[in-house]
Amino acid sequence: MAAVAAIAAVAVTVVSAGVDAYGKHKAGRAAQKQGNYVGAIEDQNAKFSEMQADDAVARGYEAAFKRRTESRQLAGASRAAMAAQGIDVNTGSALDIQENNQRIGELDMVTIKNNAARQAWGYQVEALQHRQQAHLARIGGTNLGRNYNYSAGSTLLTGGAQAYGIWKNR
């Protein structure tokens, strides 16, 4: 009767260790898949950030071109208004006003382009952060998966040792 009890105890120990190890192995695979999934999402977020950076630059150049056009229209209207009043637009204060307006328009264009470049840089930094998060998620999933697999192996070894001890002490 003691032999039957020992065999049953050994069987329960082995099955328990096997089930526990299998569960840990599955958890390890799930952790790896989760790390890869999060990594893929972060990669996609990085691509979106890069697209936003490109869009910021394009919008900046468009706004700068629009500002240049407005500045030239204003200069032309100002020149025509002064000429209509009989003012010589090529000398003195009239010329100074035109040159000043042109410099302000150019400064506005440069400011618009610089602001767009700064905004694009922010998106590029964001893209880099997403790529780093993707890398970390994949590494974390791989490491956690390995830890679960090592734990599964340890469980099998421990279960085997316990089963041997039960059998030996019967």
The string over 66-78, giving b where at least 16 C-beta atoms fall within 10 Å of a residue's C-beta and e elsewhere, is: ebeeebeeebeee
The per-residue pLDDT for range 75-100, each reduced to its tens digit, is 999 999 999 999 999 999 999 999 99
How many domains does the chain contain in total? 1
* Sign of the CA dihedral running 15, 16, 17, 18: positive
* Sign of the CA dihedral running 43, 45, 48, 54: negative
The per-residue pLDDT for range 97-138, each reduced to its tens digit, is 999 999 999 999 999 999 999 999 999 999 999 999 999 999
Q: Which residue has the tokens 């003195």?
A: 92
Could you give the CA distance from residue 104 to residue 70 in angstroms, rounded to a whole number? 12
Structural domain boundaries enclosing 133: 2-168
The per-residue pLDDT for range 21-77, each reduced to its tens digit, is 999 999 999 999 999 999 999 999 999 999 999 999 999 999 999 999 999 999 999
Could you give the CA distance from residue 22 to residue 15 in angstroms, rounded to a whole number? 10
